[in-house]
Structure 1
Amino acid sequence: MFPFIRVTSSILIPTYYFVVSAAIILALFWITARAKKYNLSHKITLDLSLIIMVCGFIGARLLHVFYENFAYYQEDYSRVLYFWDGGFVFFGGALLAALFGVLFLEWKAPNDDERYLDLFAPVISLTYAIGRLGCLFAGCCYGKSCELPWAISGRHPTQIYASIWELGVVLILIGIESISSLHRRPALFRRPGSIFYLWMILHGLGRLLMESFREDFRGPSLGLSISSWISLAVIALGLVLMFRRKPA
């Protein structure tokens, strides 16, 4: 593992935050370029990006605090603010960001809300893939014991599994988007929103797969981790939203 980047003898930068920050910067450049390409509002795109970043940070922190280690924070509630010590759950951030993001789009772009969802889908996917590499360097989200040639420290490199899967999802989403003629696309992907709903399904499946290899604390939830239950719900919702739509 490589948890810190040494700048000087007294200055250390957490590798996780460095990787996540780099991913966010890359995402902002890409999302603004995509907004221009698809003729969507630059202002709304950046405002939505800010909502996703802020709500993602807060939601990810809160789910960790209240679900994964609440007893620890009860001892001293000020520890909730010590985010530099780590402690974030992706789905907590994703759910809060989705809630406020959808509300924002219903307010600012009700007629184009699903076009914005499609705009963000591959960008979110790539950001997640890079972010998981930050987990690898930090040594969190580790896998079960493994004796395979690609094992890291004797464990399944679940962070790398997640990154590879999500990069594959990016290629699939971009591949479908690259079919410029809507009538050449498969019927399911001719309406706005379908790219995002496909991401929901594929991300949920990948997360379920990764969860089966994880060995860090996942929380007792009827035999499955809370992330697995959320993944199942995300897959189900994605399928409902995808198949309720009539082909164009």
Structure 2
Amino acid sequence: MYPVLLELGPITVHSYGFMIAMGFVAVILGLRRRAHEINMEPNETLDIALLAMIFGIIGARLYYVLVYDFSHYVKNPLDVFALNQGGLVFHGGLILGTIAVIIYLKAKKVSVVETADLAALLIPVAYAFGRVGCFLNGCCHGIETDSFIGVSFTEFGTTAYHPAQLYSVVLGLGIYGFILWQRPRRTFGGQAFLSYLIIYNAGRFFIEFLRVNPTYFGLVTGAQITSIILIGIACGLYPFIRRKFAYEEDEAVEEIDESSTA
């Protein structure tokens, strides 16, 4: 564990918060660099990033409060705001952040599906940064294991646990690589984002079996239930969005050409 990166007098830089911040910086830089792909100016994309960040944090916190420890927060409502104690869930941030950005894009008359496809490329990078922060902080670890891949976190003595945080980092980077490959080969707008939802939630579903989380009915965790729901929504929307936002054949060819010369 390496929860504190730097201490300068009264200033303490925590590894978890720092890596979360680096994830948002990566999203901002990526949006600025690719702003022309959604017909926006680089500076305009800052609004999208800030909305995603603000509502992402709110959603991540609300999900944790409602699903993981609701009884505690009913008795101690002010603890809802104690983010320094941890308690952010990616699924909640993804859901509320997506809703907020969609509303903004609709108001600005910016393509939702093209922006979503760009987000599908950037979100996995931010996710990977965040999970590195989890690993350094020692939170979100997996179940005990005797495997050679097990990691002992100092707070928990010599017991080795699955480094579920690193499994999630691999998942995020793997999705980034796939979306980077798929992006110029899309046949309709929104395809990359739907692919992201399906692949991420499938991966998250299986990683949950190796994590320490409360279960429902002794079988599945809240994250697994959410993953199943999101996969179902993505699969259900797939044929509709494919028909509604299909590219003309020459558009797809042009995207491939642009990618090969980039």
Q: 1:212 to 1:104 in 2, by over 3 A?
A: same
Q: Structure 1 regions of 5+ residues with no counterpart?
A: 180-184
SS at match of 1:49: helix
SS at match of 2:95: helix
Moved more, 236-245 or 49-58: 236-245
CA drift at 1:124: 0.6
Moved more, 73-82 or 18-27: 73-82
How high is the TM-score relative to the length of structure 1? 0.88
**Does residue 1:124 correspond to 2:123, yes or no?**
yes
Question: Could you report, residue by residue, the CA deviation over 1:150-193 in whole angstroms, capped at 9, with x for unpaired residues?
Answer: 2111111111001101101100100122x4xxxxx3xxx21111
For 2:88, the equivalent position in structure 1 comes to: 88
Question: Could you report, residue by residue, the CA deviation over 1:13-53 in whole angstroms, capped at 9, with x for unpaired residues?
Answer: 221001111111122111110113x1521355322211111
Question: Could you report, residue by residue, the CA deviation over 1:176-221 in whole angstroms, capped at 9, with x for unpaired residues?
Answer: 22x4xxxxx3xxx211111111111111111111111112x33425
Q: 2:201 aligns with which of 190, 194, 204?
A: 204
CA RMSD of aligned residues (A): 1.8
**Does residue 1:236 correspond to 2:232, yes or no?**
yes
For 1:170, the equivalent position in structure 2 comes to: 176
CA drift at 1:241: 2.3
**In the aligned structure 1, how far is the partner of 2:87 from the partner of 2:166?**
19
For 1:97, give the aligned amino acid: G
For 1:68, the equivalent position in structure 2 comes to: 68
For 1:182, the equivalent position in structure 2 comes to: none
SS at match of 2:34: helix
For 2:252, the equivalent position in structure 1 comes to: none
Are the aligned partners of 2:27 and 2:49 in contact in 1 as well (CA < 8 Å)? no
Aligned residues with identical type, % of pairs: 27
1:1-248 map, 5 Å: 1-8=1-8, 11-36=11-36, 38-42=37-41, 44-109=44-109, 112-153=111-152, 154-177=160-183, 179=184, 185=185, 189-215=186-212, 217-220=213-216, 223-244=219-240, 245-246=242-243, 248=247
The number of residues matched between the two structures is 236
Question: Could you report, residue by residue, the CA deviation over 1:51-110 in whole angstroms, capped at 9, with x for unpaired residues?
Answer: 111100111111212221223223332221111111111111111112222222222226
Are the aligned partners of 1:15 and 1:137 in contact in 2 as well (CA < 8 Å)? yes
For 1:210, give the aligned amino acid: I
Q: 1:66 to 1:39 in 2, by over 3 A?
A: closer
**In the aligned structure 2, how far is the partner of 1:114 from the partner of 1:221?**
37
Runs (4+) off by over 3 Å: 8-11
Q: Structure 2 regions of 5+ residues with no counterpart?
A: 153-159, 248-262
**In the aligned structure 1, how far is the partner of 2:196 from the partner of 2:69?**
30
**In the aligned structure 1, how far is the partner of 2:67 from the partner of 2:126?**
24
**In the aligned structure 2, how far is the partner of 1:60 from the partner of 1:167?**
21
Are the aligned partners of 1:19 and 1:131 in contact in 2 as well (CA < 8 Å)? yes
SS at match of 2:13: strand
CA drift at 1:6: 3.5
Higher share in strand = 2
